[in-house]
Chains A and B, each alone.
Chain A
């Protein structure tokens, strides 16, 4: 299986769309095909997570099975991610007049059974559906469909609406779900000013980090006069643990293209750029395909819908630098340079790409635009909170039962997300904290669980929305170690330009190393705090300004853990191995396994007698611990 196989070139040969009528005709045709397929429609979830779990083999198996049985009439399609990573590969079967059937953990053998029993025999393979999990919803009823699961019931899908439903490699299916209607609407019935007014009225805020009002950003760029302006899509999602942008690009790429064109019209730009991580090969391929399809249909290019509006989109690949998610670094990178941020002001809206007025919106922000244009600002404001309308997609990960992508209205509480949707920590472990906002954010504890989450609330709690990574930690995670992990990340990803970030984060990391290895003194805690404040206060860009957040917020909520490391020289969660001792208990049967795996030859003992670890020789590698068949070794 390879990522390359996941995409195919289209052979469309369609007539260009030159009017809204053309668009509507195609929409009506494909709407019908999607909603009431004449024949059975089988879709395989083929975003990266699905592919990783084996979706390509599943797709190929369907192809050959269908061919073998002469089932040419059955429509086999790939779709994007539906968000339930743990159940991949997932296959949905649509049949007019019947309920959708979802198969989980599908593999080529199961494909054979599904084709023969369900598609040919008309009998659903119930043991391959959700039923195999024997899950009950909150009313105690067995969940048959994804939609029954608590995981889905609390969600509201605007951004991810089309993901997992339409084939991202066929523009006609996007048109069938009202695609490009918003662009048609602004180009043929609205002025650029009205477009910006509508977005401003919706109070949409940027989903990429700090939540800056999108309409205001557009307005700043629109009022500049220049021979060229640019709209840029920031698809350099780099937060470790966040992958909503990838999911949108893989599952609904045209939504982003349509939004870019709308933004271009609004600010007076004829050029769009998408800066996308090269680590997302599937997303890149689908974007390229989408652009070529849109160009072929005349939805990008010159005189779109017969108006005077021209718009073209280019793709630039990132090459592995987290800082390029920062808008000015991203601009430098598009310009082919080292991704080093520039001081703001001037903001990109006045001086951006190649010195021209530019706006940068992230993928999730853009994915909201077409829906807002179609449904109106008021509709959007009915969702979410007053200050932060709409939904937010979170990538739920870490110590949580249901990992995956969830989209909830702003104002949903953390408890609903973590407990109801996420199913809590697995293995009955105790929830300790949740980290939001990735390396720029902070951690929230039990006390914050009932706070409705939106941009402002998270900031008030000392964290931030960031791009929407939400990593759950349980009692087994050491918060000092987690802070160290994030610092290690920022040290590695600092561009190296400004002093506080380049030098300061390194010194913070060194202090954290001292703390987790037992070499720190009490004064180090105060120094660490002061240094963190200085970096926050004086760094050039948002990466540096937010880099200390994981440390500051863990220091605020888990000072006891820091003090345990520094004063008692212990790691309460038993993670920091320099602070752990391994001891052999009376459970030892003297099997000698531990002494054989010990690389430091620290374990002695006679056969069938209790063994002993020489603490002065022990290097805390834990090899004995994981080898012992009798659980006779404990860490303390």
Chain B
């Protein structure tokens, strides 16, 4: 069977664990803390590897598998490290009817990776977003916090992505 190998990428004495512990302990009522703790952990570590699940399990008493069930239920959680830049292509209805699929295809084609994947240089992770709430500007793509609007003409996309590549060099 396939058992993912998980490398120790976060040291046991990483100070962020202490931060996470005090976050969890700051909640008087531990009822329902699991998801909030995972959210905070993802803020701190950027992703949720096994060792973070183990830590939260120990602090909250929620079994590891149950935590993992929560992690894999919600699309915002990820168990693998992500790219430096998060590309969110809005696939909301308003964007879809105005050509969001083409935007997604173009981004995938340009970067050579599909939805949910990270480029080999760890620069970009491509995500399909449900609705970014900028329906008036559709179709829309967001890179980190930056919004790129009215992308019906997808030929602009490679140049946009190139700018991030240049910045990284």
- Chain A interface (Cβ < 8 Å from any Cβ of B): 1-4, 48-49, 52-53, 84-86, 88, 238-243, 246, 278-280, 316-322, 333-339, 354, 395, 397-399, 403-404, 435, 438, 469, 471, 473, 477, 482, 485-486, 489, 495, 626
Contact = CB atoms under 8 A, between A and B. Distances in A.
10 residue pairs, one from A and one from B, having the closest CB atoms: A85-B136, A397-B94, A319-B74, A240-B92, A241-B93, A336-B32, A320-B75, A336-B34, A52-B147, A320-B76
Given A243-B135, A279-B132, A320-B74, A336 B94 contact: no
28 contacts: A1-B145, A49-B133, A49-B135, A52-B132, A52-B137, A53-B147, A85-B135, A240-B91, A241-B135, A316-B32, A316-B35, A319-B74, A319-B77, A320-B76, A320-B130, A336-B33, A336-B34, A336-B35, A336-B36, A336-B70, A338-B70, A354-B32, A395-B135, A397-B94, A398-B97, A403-B94, A485-B96, A626-B155
Contact of B74 (A3, A321, A398): A321
A575 to B, nearest CB: 10
A543 to B, nearest CB: 14
B39 A241 contact: no
A318 B131 CA distance: 14
A1 B96 CA distance: 26
B123 interface: no
Nearest to A314: B29
Contacts of A354: 31-32
Given A335-B32, A337-B34, A86 B93 contact: no
A482 B101 CA distance: 12
Interface in B95-135: 96-98, 129-135
Contacts of A319: 35, 38-39, 74-77
Contact of B133 (A48, A84, A322): A48
A2 B134 CA distance: 15
B97 A2 contact: no
A336 B31 CA distance: 8
A631 to B, nearest CB: 16
Contacts of A339: 73-74
A278 B92 CA distance: 16
B76 A398 contact: no
A1 B77 contact: no
B112 to A, nearest CB: 13
A88 B133 contact: no
A611 B159 CA distance: 30
Interface string B69-95: 110011111000000000000011110
A339 B155 CA distance: 39
A559 B154 CA distance: 32
Given A279-B129, A280-B133, A317-B36, 16 more contacts: A3-B145, A49-B137, A88-B137, A240-B130, A316-B35, A319-B38, A336-B62, A336-B70, A337-B35, A354-B32, A397-B93, A397-B138, A398-B98, A404-B136, A471-B94, A485-B96
A259 B97 CA distance: 36
B149 interface: yes
B52 interface: no
Contacts of A322: 130
Interface residues of B, number: 40
A239 B137 contact: no
Q: A335, A398, A404: which has the most chain B beta carbons within 10 Å?
A: A398
Contacts of B135: 49, 85, 241, 243, 395, 397, 403
Contacts of B31: 335-336, 354
Contacts of B69: 338
Given A240-B92, A337-B70, A403 B138 contact: yes
Contacts of A88: 136-137
Nearest to B34: A336
B18 interface: no
Contacts of A398: 93-94, 97-98
Contacts of A333: 35
Given A52-B140, A241-B94, A404-B136, A1 B129 contact: no
A550 B130 CA distance: 17
B146 interface: yes
Contacts of B137: 49, 52-53, 85, 88
B133 A435 contact: no
A438 B7 CA distance: 42
A1 B74 contact: no
Interface string B24-54: 0000000111111011000000000000000
Nearest to B142: A52
A243 B76 contact: no
A438 B93 CA distance: 8
A404 B36 CA distance: 33
Contacts of A435: 93
Nearest to A5: B145
A240 B134 CA distance: 11
B134 A85 contact: yes
A518 B91 CA distance: 24
B96 A240 contact: yes
